[in-house]
Amino acid sequence: MALAVKPQEALDLWRRALVTTVRSGGADLSARQLAVVLTVYMTPPPHTVRGLASLLKISKPAITRALDRLTALDFARRRRDEQDRRNVLVQRTVKGAVFLSDFSSVVAAAAREV
């Protein structure tokens, strides 16, 4: 089901949602960090450091640091892969789900105002 959004509407939607989140002064995630959370929660597992790095085309250390931040916020969790103990699997948390739920409400509310 494709959403029909005109370019002008797209910008206005983004602006309203962005202003709301900036004003709220909340979690203050960078674009990369937010992209990581969204990917972990909305695309099928498993999620590894290397997989996320190649998906987002950024360096491995950048993913490691993003995960450091996200685990500190309790928005994600690391777990060793028992099948291949070199891998680290990124998993969801309740707090992360709540954060994304709130965030989606902000975007949906912004869409209603466009």
Interacting residues with a copy of itself (CB under 8 A): 1-15, 17-19, 21-23, 25, 28, 30-32, 34-35, 38-39, 41-42, 55-58, 100-101, 103-105, 107-108, 111-114
**Alpha-carbon distance 29 to 32, whole Å?**
8
According to DSSP H, which parts of 1-114 are helical? Answer: 7-24, 31-42, 49-56, 60-72, 94-113
Query: If binding is defined by CB under 7 A, does position 85 make contact with DNA?
Result: yes
**Partner whose binding site includes residue 112, from a copy of itself, DNA, none (CB under 5 to 8 Å by kind):** a copy of itself
3-state secondary structure of 53: helix
Query: If binding is defined by CB under 7 A, does position 73 make contact with DNA?
Result: no
**Partner whose binding site includes residue 12, from a copy of itself, DNA, none (CB under 5 to 8 Å by kind):** a copy of itself
Q: Do the Cβ atoms of 71 and 37 come closer than 8 Å?
A: no
